[in-house]
Amino acid sequence: MSLDKSIRKNIMKIPSYKGVDPSLKLASESGIDPKDIIKLNANENAFGDTLGLGKDLSKINIHEYPDPNQKLLREYLVNYTGNKFEEIVAGSGSDELIDILIRIFLSEGDKLIDAKPTFGMYEFFAKIQGADVISVSRDKEYNLDLDLILKQIDSKTKMIFLASPNNPTGNIASPQEIKTLIDTNLIVVIDETYYEFSKFSYSNLIHEHDNVIILRSFSKWAGLAGLRIGYAISNPKLIEKILLVKQPYNINSAAEHVAINAMSKKDFLLEKVEILIDQKNKIYDFLSKYDELKPFPSSANFILCDFKEKDSNIIFEKLAQNGIFVRKFSDNVISNSLRFSSGTPDQTRKLLRVLKSII
C-alpha cells in the first residue's frame, strides 16, 4: 500500500514549520555549557524560572480532567482584560486558536490573506485546511500595503490575519488600517501576542464589529511558552462556536493553574516586561549607531535588523560561537536580517559586547 495515495494532496505539499531548538539541544550541538547559553531567538521571557510561577504545581489534581468550560480561568481573564466572560475563551497557545478559527471559517479553496513577513502559523494552518493563502508583501518599512491587500479580495476571500505588533518586524497596525480592513466585512483576526509590550490593543472593536477577533498569549509577557496557553476575545456568538469546536480538555491543568498564578502576580510580571522593553531599546540604540545596519523600530520585545551589505549568516555563526542564539529566516525578504529578542540586562551586555567585536 502506498500511503502517498491516501494522504490528502494538500498535506503532501505543505512545507514543515521550523521552530527554534531548545536550550539543551543548542548546548549539546555547540559544546557550550547549558548555563552559558543565551537564547534570544524565540521572543521568550528571558527571566524564566526566576519568575517563580511554577513552584506550587504539586497542588494540581493531575488525575482529574481539567474544566472543559474553563470557568475559573475565564473569570480571571475577565478581571485581567476587562472583557465579559462570554467574550473570552482560552486555547492551547494562540496557535490552537488560529487553527480553530481557520477550521470554523475556511473551506477547501477559500482564501486567507496575510501580510508578509509575518508569523508563519497563519499560512501553515490554512494550507492544512486546504485553503489558499494570499500573502501580500509589506512595504520597505514593513508597513501594510492596503491598496494591494484590497485588490486581492474576491468572492473566495474569507479571512485576514494581522499581527499587531507584527512578528518579526515589531510594528503596530494603525487605526485607519484596521478600520479599512474591518470595512471589507471579512473576518479580521488581530494577533496581539505582544500586547503587554506594546500596551496598545484593538479589543474595544469587538463591541462595534462582529467580524473582529483578538488573539493573545501568555508565552511572552508571562514566560509560559512551555505550557502553551493563549486566549481569544470576540463577540459571544463566535466564542460559543470556538467552545463547540475546540477539544473538550484543551487547556491542561498545569497551564491553567500557572496562567491564573500569572494574572494574580501581574504587577510583578509587568515590572519584568518594562525591563525587557528597556533592553530592547538598548539593542535598537546600539544597532542604530552603525550606518551599515538597519534596525527597525519595534513595539514588541525584539528588534529586527537588516545587515545590508554584511552577511547576516556570518554574524549569526559568530554569535552562536559565543553561546548567543538569535533568529534567522528563510524568507527571501528578510533572509539577510536577524531578529534579536530582548534578554536580561546581563544578557544584553554580553550580546552588545560580542556584536561590537564582530561588527
Beta bridge partners, 295, equal 305
- Domains by residue range for the chain, with CATH: 7-49+267-358 (3.90.1150.10), 65-265 (3.40.640.10)
Q: What is the CA radius of gyration of the chain?
A: 21
pLDDT band at 7 (very low <50, low <70, confident <90, very high): confident
User: Does the pLDDT at position 155 exceed 70?
Assistant: yes
pLDDT digits over 210-269, tens only? 999 999 999 999 999 999 999 999 999 999 999 999 999 999 999 999 999 999 999 999
Is the pLDDT at 1 greater than 80? The verdict is: no
Q: How many CB atoms lie within 10 A of CB 207?
A: 12
pLDDT tens profile 280-334: 999 999 999 999 999 999 999 999 999 999 999 999 999 999 999 999 998 889 9
Write down the pLDDT at residue 30: 80
pLDDT in tens, 169-220: 999 999 999 999 999 999 999 999 999 999 999 999 999 999 999 999 999 9
Evaluate the CA torsion angle 244, 237, 115, 299 in order and state its sign. negative
Average pLDDT, stretch 12-19? 78
DSSP 86: G
d(CA 359, CA 346): 20
- For 275-290, how does the pLDDT look when each residue is reduced to its tens digit (9 = 90+)? 999 999 999 999 999 9
* CA 46-340-294 angle, 5° bins: 155
pLDDT value for 16: 78
